[in-house]
Structure 1
Amino acid sequence: MLTISRGVVHFGVQIRTVYFQKEGVFYFARRVPADLLHYYSSDKISYSLRTRSSSVATARAIQAACKLDEYWFHLRSQEANIPGKHLLRASVTKQDSGRVTGPVTSDVLKLSEAVVTYLRLKGQGKAPTFHRAAERSCGYVIDVCGDRPLDGYTKADANAFRDALVERGLAGSSMTRVFGTVRSVFNFAVNEEGLTLINPFSNVYYDREAGVSDRVTISVAEIRKVQQKCYEIDDELRWLVALVSDTGMRLAEAAGLLCKDIERQTDGQLVVHIRPHPWRRLKTRGSQRIVPLVGAATWAAQRILESRAIGEVAFPRYNRNGSTNANSASAALNKWLRPMVAKGVSMHSFRHAMRDRLREVECPSDVVDQIGGWQTEGVGNSYGQGYPVNVLSKWLIEVEKRVHGA
């Protein structure tokens, strides 16, 4: 790794710009000043300069450093004890036919302030990914269009933002998530402020199918091959693969389990209770369920219970610092799977396969939904407690027979 420092004079001040080279690509790096750390979630700003050219990297790094210094100057000036500061952003009103109207345009929140408001009120108890999504998505808007008051954005800005995302190579599904987050932040802040604004980031056209590939399932033969490898290696990572392979659980659901979530019933049947934990939330309310364990999932559960204390997490490797790192688990396990399966198959393919495997044994769709934690349509399905464990177990046993050709 090559680290390079450059000095440039900006506003009469010598700026030290640092960037480094990793695998041929240059990256910008700058420490956040101690007096401004409370504005940031990290003490270091680092990102790719998207070039392998030293001269281009130097120019881009200096430009980034200058922008940062200007912004930091702005932040410090806001905190400075300047004359008349108590009058800034005062609640200015005007008389209109004897009525007092609301704040004038200059008092409208900027997008960066809207993000803070959104996360302060809606981010309580939410996963770090919720916070990162809001900050990252709105950060893209600010990079392209600037940090403006909410009433300063236009449809032309939204279209320019769309074009910038397309240029970055984002797939249609990723653009949908980004636009959805930006719209949510914008609408929430507008409602909180009591403003009457049309959200320019609504109804923006783009190709939602662009770059989106179909989810690839995994064949029964591949499932059998992967499970056999799990039995042979017999370690924590393979227990996780085996547990997912015969339950169709989401990887995060399995990775965030406690040992006491695995329970043996009076008839000897092992089941897993999928429920929310402080370190791992569930995707939907319907995701909370009980799943009977069969086949490789039973073997994995037994190995976990033999190796861990009842109060421990089932997979300590992926549960540190108070959160479940499902992304890390996905990366490691997908890399291990790749040589054994068809192109495009991933850990999530087991979930798709489970739905197909249940269809093959003509399992009723509402039973399928309960096993996988999928949303079942219709008001009637919200009544009652669902199917008992022995009914779910019957269908999963039928599925397991197909794997071993019984």
Structure 2
Amino acid sequence: MGLVLKHVEQTKSGRWQYRRRVPKAVSEVITKREFKKKLGDSEKEALAAYPRFHAEVEREIAKALQQVEHGEAADRGEATEREAYQVALARATELAPQGTDWITREAIIDRIVSRYRQDPETLDPIGATDVDRLTINLVRNGGIATARPEPTLEDAKKLYLAERRGKETPETFHRFEGQVNRVVDLTCKALGRDPVLTELTRDDARRVRDFMLDQVKSNGERISPSSVARYLNGLRAIINHAATEMDLPATFKSPFNNLSVPQAQGRGSVGEGEKRDPLPPAVLKAVRERICHSAKPDLALIWRLLEGTGCRLAEVTGLRVEDVETTGEFPHIKVAWHENRRLKTQASIRHVPLVGDALEAAKEALKLPREGNMLFPGYGRARGSDAASAALMKHVRAITTDKRHTVHSLRHNMKDRLRLAEVASLDQNIILGHALGEVGDRVYGGTPAKLRVTTRAMERALG
């Protein structure tokens, strides 16, 4: 059987060539009829040359498709003025290349203007899209005379998202994109416009902050100052990224930098650790009994592991079978980054000892029926921790209605146990995945030694 490669054919002379028609969808961008290239005189030469040229063609088509999509979005009015300018510049260059005489340029402009009604006095097109308006200016005056629009917050947002796209799982990126869109939408509503970045003022920043603080959640409560602080952190990241990556003046500084968020009256003394309370012994016992007797087996095992390790919920639901070691001198679970689960911080990557009931729960979890390598197949997926949280919280709320009592309270229970057992702060942080202060604490020391120390600490805390 001869050589069989997509878009490859043998000519009458016996040579091998790549031949592929330009897709109709990009024919306005790629003006030639087909991609054509000699690959070699033999099958061996053709096989060697094919991958590189085929990849070049795929990249050119993908780039052209992106241009077409941007152009269509601009024509629909869905692009920013800066994006519309890029589309208009490409069209003007194609319609009136350098050296085109003014009579031809005016004829091109007349064709564009003819699509619209004209102002009887100025003869300007009424309701022209940004792309057509800018194309007219560029054809008539050229790129030097028609300044590129200054970047706006919407431009900064799109660049920020483009940099993150492809670096996350689709589900994670979708959630991130929603958060970014909400922050930018609130900002534009507060200011009544899509602001030009270099025109933002400190007064604008305060207005945005106060507008966010006035937002009301679906339950009728006002949004918390801590949520507004998170929104502003996201907004700062978007703008500061644009300051680095876009052609902003070197003197530009975001007016949102160092913008404080007033605490709600009566909440100034509430620290970060007071937002959740440990579950009281009676509540903890009642919730555990309810879950172990009423919940699905895998959910009950997740609860027992959370209670016995102090791990975050996503760290447990994202465990793989290979991350669980129940034999040897120091049984443990390995909390690691993988394709199905990202971690909160670098310090989150760690080995957590399995002691007492947590070890028994891990052994039982390994016996669960499964397809694939996730320890908890029902929850080891995108948003699986959210599903587990919702299911567990139903049981928690059946016992306690205190808003400070949640699944996350189990981490506070473990923190208290470690403190009462007089475990050193460094060892507590290693177990719980908190940031480690000194460079030596973060970098030096082997896993076996750390496991030996943390296992003893857990035995004291749970003993």
TM-score (norm 1): 0.70
- SS of 2:334's partner is strand
Q: Deviations over 1:117-146 (max 9, x none)?
A: 112124541432333322221121122222
Judging changes above 3 Å, is the alpha-carbon distance between structure 1 residues 90 and 298 closer, same or farther for their aligned structure 2 residues?
farther
- SS of 1:312's partner is coil
Distance 1:88 1:250 in 2: 62
Judging changes above 3 Å, is the alpha-carbon distance between structure 1 residues 82 and 161 closer, same or farther for their aligned structure 2 residues?
closer
Structure 2 counterpart of 1:290: 351
Structure 2 counterpart of 1:325: 384
Judging changes above 3 Å, is the alpha-carbon distance between structure 1 residues 238 and 108 closer, same or farther for their aligned structure 2 residues?
same
**Which residue identity is paired with 1:274?**
V
Q: Deviations over 1:177-208 (max 9, x none)?
A: 10011011011101112423221222333314
The structural deviation recorded for 1:175 is: 0.9
The structural deviation recorded for 1:259 is: 2.2
Structure 1 counterpart of 2:180: 134
Match of 1:195 among 241, 245, 248: 248
Judging changes above 3 Å, is the alpha-carbon distance between structure 1 residues 393 and 38 closer, same or farther for their aligned structure 2 residues?
farther
Structure 1 counterpart of 2:60: none
The structural deviation recorded for 1:251 is: 0.9
Structure 2 counterpart of 1:5: none
The structural deviation recorded for 1:81 is: 10
Structure 1 counterpart of 2:151: 109
- SS of 2:445's partner is coil
Superposition pairs of residues 355-374 of structure 1, within 5 angstroms: 355-374=415-434
Distance 2:264 2:78 in 1: 37
Judging changes above 3 Å, is the alpha-carbon distance between structure 1 residues 193 and 227 closer, same or farther for their aligned structure 2 residues?
same
Structure 2 counterpart of 1:350: 410
- SS of 1:318's partner is coil
Flag the structure with larger Rg: 2
Judging changes above 3 Å, is the alpha-carbon distance between structure 1 residues 88 and 143 closer, same or farther for their aligned structure 2 residues?
farther
Distance 2:422 2:362 in 1: 27
Does the Cα contact within 8 Å between 1:144 and 1:164 map onto a contact in 2? yes
Judging changes above 3 Å, is the alpha-carbon distance between structure 1 residues 150 and 81 closer, same or farther for their aligned structure 2 residues?
closer
Moved more, 160-169 or 354-363: 160-169
Superposition pairs of residues 6-405 of structure 1, within 5 angstroms: 77-78=129-130, 83-84=135-136, 92=144, 107-126=149-168, 127-128=172-173, 129-145=175-191, 146-168=193-215, 169-196=222-249, 197-208=252-263, 214-233=275-294, 235-267=297-329, 269-309=330-370, 311-320=372-381, 323-341=382-400, 343=402, 344-382=404-442, 383-385=444-446, 387-401=449-463
Does the Cα contact within 8 Å between 2:77 and 2:130 map onto a contact in 1? no
Distance 1:92 1:359 in 2: 68
Distance 1:203 1:188 in 2: 16
Does the Cα contact within 8 Å between 2:336 and 2:350 map onto a contact in 1? yes
Distance 1:114 1:335 in 2: 41
**Which residue identity is paired with 1:206?**
V
How well do the aligned residues superpose, as a CA RMSD in angstroms? 3.2
**Which residue identity is paired with 1:249?**
C
Distance 2:357 2:128 in 1: 59
The structural deviation recorded for 1:288 is: 0.6
Distance 1:317 1:302 in 2: 17
Unaligned runs of 5+ in 1: 1-34, 41-74, 94-102, 402-406
- SS of 1:246's partner is helix
Does the Cα contact within 8 Å between 2:319 and 2:380 map onto a contact in 1? no
Does the Cα contact within 8 Å between 1:218 and 1:345 map onto a contact in 2? yes
Judging changes above 3 Å, is the alpha-carbon distance between structure 1 residues 83 and 245 closer, same or farther for their aligned structure 2 residues?
same
Judging changes above 3 Å, is the alpha-carbon distance between structure 1 residues 131 and 307 closer, same or farther for their aligned structure 2 residues?
same
Judging changes above 3 Å, is the alpha-carbon distance between structure 1 residues 183 and 195 closer, same or farther for their aligned structure 2 residues?
same
- SS of 1:307's partner is coil
Structure 2 counterpart of 1:32: none
Judging changes above 3 Å, is the alpha-carbon distance between structure 1 residues 91 and 143 closer, same or farther for their aligned structure 2 residues?
farther
**Which residue identity is paired with 1:242?**
R
**Which residue identity is paired with 1:201?**
F
More strand by share: 1
Moved more, 356-365 or 214-223: 214-223
The structural deviation recorded for 1:297 is: 2.0
**Which residue identity is paired with 1:364?**
A
Q: Deviations over 1:74-103 (max 9, x none)?
A: x9935669853866998648xxxxxxxxx9
Does the Cα contact within 8 Å between 1:187 and 1:199 map onto a contact in 2? yes
Distance 2:385 2:141 in 1: 43
Q: Deviations over 1:151-179 (max 9, x none)?
A: 23222221221121111122111111100
TM-score (norm 2): 0.62
**Which residue identity is paired with 2:348?**
S
- SS of 1:283's partner is coil
The structural deviation recorded for 1:255 is: 1.4
